[in-house]
Every structure is written in C-alpha cells, then in structure tokens.
Amino acid sequence: MKIRINGHIRDVKGPTTIQDLLVQLGYANHFVAVAVNQNCIPKQKFPEQSVQDQDEVEILAPMAGG
Amino acid sequence: MWTLADKTLKSRLFLGSARYPSPEILQQSIIASSTEVVTVSLRRESAQQNTGNRFWDYLRQTGVHILPNTAGCLSVREAILTAHMSRELFQTHWIKLEVIGNDDTLQPDPFGTVEAARILCAEGFEVFPYTTDDLVVAEKLVSVGCRIIMPWGSPIGTGQGLRNLEALKTLRQRLPGITLVVDAGIGRPSHATQALELGFDAVLVNTAVALAHDPVRMAQGFAAAVDAGRWGYEAGMMEASSRAQASSPTVGIPFWHQEDAH
C-alpha cells in the first residue's frame, strides 16, 4: 500500500499496525511521536492501531527549538 | 523562589535550545545558566538520523522542565496537532504556542494565536503564548484561559532588545496577576535586566546565548543579569529626575566663601 510518511509517498507492506510500521521503516528504538491523518496517536495504541492505504503519517522527534 | 504555572522555580531565565554549536555546548550552557525551563521543538526525522534520541538524552540529563513549542506552525490546526504530539511525547501539558503570521518578521498571528489558545486551554494545556506587545491581544489571551503571556521584545533572532518599552510597561500595569515573560529579540544581558526591572517575571533567551562567542560564559552573564534586574525591581528603584541634586552634603563644603557664592 502507499502511505505518505513525513511528506514522501512510500510503498509499505500492509496491512500493518503503527508499531510494525515504525519497525519496518527503521524507527524501532526512536523516541518519536506519531500522527495519522492529522490525529495524534497515543503511544499505547501503536500496537493496535493500523494504517491504511493513502494514509498520511507524521513521525516527529524532539529537536532543538527556541 | 517563584511560581510558574504548577511549578516552583528559582531561576527567572528560560533558555531556548536552538542554534548552539553542539549538543555538548547546549548542555553546558543550560547548566551554567541555572535555568530550569528549556524550550524544544518537534521535527520530522528520518529513520537513519536518530538525532532526536541523542538530543533528548543530552537534555534529560540536565533535569530541566521541558517547554515544547509549536514553532513553524502557520495555522491553528497545525499548532493544535503539534501540541497534542508534544504532550504525548514529552508527557507535559505545558506548550509554548506559536502561530506565525508572517514568514519574514516571524510575527505571531494574533487571531490564530488566540483561537489556538482557546482550544488548548479548554483541553487542559498550560499555554505559554508567544505574542506581540499588543495589550488587546494579551487581554484576549487571558480571557480564553492563559495565565502566562510571552510578549516579544523584538522579532525573533534580531537581538534588538526591548523595542517598545512603553507597551511592555503597559502590559505589566494592566495585567498584574498574569505571569509575563519577555520572549524573542533579547540580544544582550542588559536587555534581560531591563525586562526584569520593569517587573516582568522572567525572560526567554535563545539566540543571544547560542550565537555568543562563548555561549557558556554568556549563559552565566544572563543568569547574573536576570538576578540584577529582579533585585532592582524588588528593592524599589529611584525615580529619574531632570534636575541635578548633589549626592554629597552641601553643609561644610571646604574652601567655600559667601562672597563667591552664585
């Protein structure tokens, strides 16, 4: 399925949960926040919530900021 | 000691974490400044980078309170989503709200800021809104639930200091029960002292420390400047006068002759 990850369309094996998507993409041990279709997903829901074809996913990490 | 939202703090200096030469110097500057509040942002990260983890580790070691920001957000929707993601990741209900209205001046959008603040306050966030020195906007922010207002001294990163002293004085006079923090545009320690002398509760400084030749020494300078300003405010400063008045006693001046007096 095609999913937009951080602005870029990627081919992703599906169906998949957010947890598995993070592993698939290489974010397994990253300290990140995730939003799907502009909704923040709580971390405890990563193993159960799935992503669908055409979803937009934002994976954000802490960065320096003023 | 003073109260900021739900916390009791010693320091009235907040630091931004951007633009430092290295994470190590950022960490050393935080420690040297004795700050207890540091702002951070959320940004996209590629799986290969993992810089977020390293940055977060450096920051956590300092033990400061994290104040996530919504920097870069140009709309209410973006700011709200960023706030939600920040709360989820950092496990804090504090959020520095920025809804930018102009890419060139980075001036906050007053309408978007008030609307986003209204929504976030209703959701239980402690909103630290970045705003201009406009009293009406500040009053609107208070009316929607903000107990902290962060007016600019001058545009972000300019180092121009407090451009509109009268407007800042007005904010202090008209919002006596609100925590006021000058955020943006502070360029040197004397600007911070000036803000605290006006009765502002704290200042937030980023570029002035990060881009100093010696950020760690500058961080110390700002810590001292904030203390100086606060002590001056608490001590009650003299009023300026247009008329000179000798500070040494006039009685018993040596070599004085009546006939020479004028």
**What is the ipTM, given to two decimal places?**
0.96
Q: Phi and psi (nearest 5°) for B183? A: -130, 125
Type of residue at B142: V
* Segments of chain B assigned E as strands: 2-4, 7-9, 13-16, 37-44, 65-68, 94-97, 126-131, 148-151, 179-183, 202-205
What does pLDDT average to over chain B?
95
Which one, of A3, A8, A45, lies nearest residue B45 by Cα? A8
Furthest C-alpha separation in chain B: 90
Furthest C-alpha separation in chain A: 39
Which residues, 6 or more positions from B66, have their beta carbon under 8 angstroms from its beta carbon?
B38, B39, B40, B59, B90, B92, B94
Asked, as a colleague might, if the bond just before B155 is cis with ω within 30 of 0, I would say no
Residue B221 CA: distances (Å) to CA of A65, B193, B212, B218: 21, 10, 11, 5
Residue B50: the pLDDT is: 79
Its pTM stands at 0.94
Q: Measured between alpha carbons, how far is A47 from A18 in angstroms, rounded to an integer?
A: 6
Q: Which of A33, A40, A66 sits opposite B156 (nearest CB)?
A: A66
What does the pLDDT look like over B154-185, one tens digit per residue? 999 999 999 999 999 999 999 999 999 999 99
Whether B262 has a pLDDT exceeding 70, the answer reads: no
Q: How confident is the model at residue B53 (pLDDT cuts 50, 70, 90)?
A: confident
Q: What is the mean pLDDT of each run of 10 residues along chain A (66 residues)?
A: 95 92 92 97 96 96 94
Residue B251: the pLDDT is: 84
Residue B261: the pLDDT is: 64
Residue B111: the pLDDT is: 97
Question: Using CB atoms and an 8 Å cut-off, which of residues 11-50 of chain A contact chain B?
Answer: 25-27, 29-35, 38-43
B257 touches chain A (CB under 8 A): no
More confident residue, B137 or B57: B137
Cβ-Cβ contacts under 8 Å, A31 against chain B = 52-53, 56, 89
Residue B28: the pLDDT is: 97
Mean pLDDT over B109-129 rounds to: 98
> Nearest C-alpha of chain A: how many angstroms from B207?
8
Which one, of B210, B232, B233, lies nearest residue B222 by Cα? B210
Whether B113 has a pLDDT exceeding 80, the answer reads: yes
> Nearest C-alpha of chain B: how many angstroms from A29?
9
Cβ-Cβ contacts under 8 Å, B13 against chain A = none
Mean pLDDT over B113-128 rounds to: 98
